[in-house]
Structure 1
Amino acid sequence: MESLITLLLCSFAFNPSPTWATTLQSSHFKELICNQCQQYCENTDLVTAGNTRVGKAGPRGLRGFPGPRGPIGEPGVIGPRGRNGPVGARGSEGVVNMTLIEQSMDRKIEEVHQMYAPRSCDGVKSDAALSRTDSGGVFKLFIPEVGVRNLFCDLTDDGGNWVVFQRRMYGNVNFYRGWGDYVKGFGDLQGDHWLGLEALHQMTNRGNIEMKINMITSDGIHWSAKYSNFNIGPGSENYTLSVSGYSGNATLDRFSPHTNQQFSTKDADHDLWKGNCASRREGGWWYRGCAQSNLNGNFNKTDKKGIYWGADSGIKLLRFSEMKFRRRS
Structure 2
Amino acid sequence: MKFVIVTILFVTISNTTGVYDQNSTVKEIDVLRQIINQETLIRLALVKDVRSLVDEVSSMNRTMTSTETMTSTLQHTVETMKRQLNILTQENKKIARNYQKSILEFDQKLTSLSENVTSIHQYLKNMYWQDLRRDVDCEGLYNSGHRQSGVFRINPYGNESQINVYCDMKMNGGGWTAIQKRKRGAVEFNRTWSEYKEGFGDPQDSYWIGNDVIHHLTKGRNSTLYVSITLPNDTVLYEMYGQFSISDEEDKYRLFLGEWVDGTLGDGMLHTGKEYADLSGMYFSTPDRDNDNGNIDCAVKEQGGWWFNNCHQAYLNGPWSESWTNPWVPAGLYHYTDVKETLMMIHPH
TM range (shorter): 0.5 to 0.7
1:120 Cα deviation from its structure 2 partner: 2.0
Match of 1:121 in 2: 138
Partners of 1:113 and 1:148 within 8 A in 2: no
Distance 1:127 1:116 in 2: 9
- Confirm whether residue 139 of structure 1 aligns to residue 152 of structure 2: yes
Instruction: Report 1:202-281 matches (<5 A).
Output: 202-218=216-232, 220-256=234-270, 257-281=278-302
**Cα 1:279/1:123, change in 2 over 3 Å:** same
Distance 1:287 1:148 in 2: 30
Larger radius of gyration: 2
Match of 2:322 in 1: 302
Match of 1:319 in 2: 340
Supply the AA of the counterpart residue of 2:322.
T
Distance 2:235 2:201 in 1: 26
C-alpha distance after superposition, 1:113-136 (max 9, x if no partner): 54523112122169997xx9xx60
Distance 1:182 1:110 in 2: 33
**Cα 1:201/1:313, change in 2 over 3 Å:** closer
**Cα 1:140/1:281, change in 2 over 3 Å:** same
Instruction: Report 1:77-92 matches (<5 A).
Output: none
Deviant stretches of 4+, over 4 Å = 109-115, 125-129
Instruction: Report 1:79-228 matches (<5 A).
Output: 114-117=129-132, 118-124=135-141, 136-144=149-157, 147-218=161-232, 220-228=234-242
1:217 Cα deviation from its structure 2 partner: 2.9
In structure 2, runs of 5+ residues without a counterpart are 1-123, 271-277
Supply the AA of the counterpart residue of 1:255.
M
1:307 Cα deviation from its structure 2 partner: 6.7
Supply the AA of the counterpart residue of 1:138.
V
**Cα 1:313/1:155, change in 2 over 3 Å:** closer
Query: How many residues of Structure 1 are paired with residues of Structure 2 in the alignment?
Result: 214
Output the TM-score relative to the length of structure 1: 0.59
**Cα 1:203/1:313, change in 2 over 3 Å:** closer
**Cα 1:156/1:251, change in 2 over 3 Å:** closer
**Cα 1:314/1:194, change in 2 over 3 Å:** closer
More helix, by proportion: 2
C-alpha distance after superposition, 1:243-296 (max 9, x if no partner): 111233334200222110000000000001112101111111000101111100
Distance 2:289 2:126 in 1: 35
C-alpha distance after superposition, 1:199-253 (max 9, x if no partner): 1001101121111011123454421100100011111110000111123333420
Identical amino acids, percent of aligned pairs: 26
In structure 1, runs of 5+ residues without a counterpart are 1-108
Partners of 2:189 and 2:305 within 8 A in 1: yes
Output the TM-score relative to the length of structure 2: 0.56
Match of 2:7 in 1: none
**Cα 1:189/1:251, change in 2 over 3 Å:** closer
Distance 2:213 2:233 in 1: 33
Return the match for 1:286 from 287, 292, 307. Answer: 307
- Alignment RMSD (CA, Å): 2.7
1:172 Cα deviation from its structure 2 partner: 1.6
The DSSP-based 3-state class of the residue aligned with 2:300 is helix
Distance 1:247 1:116 in 2: 32
Distance 2:164 2:255 in 1: 23
Match of 1:88 in 2: none
Partners of 1:186 and 1:194 within 8 A in 2: yes
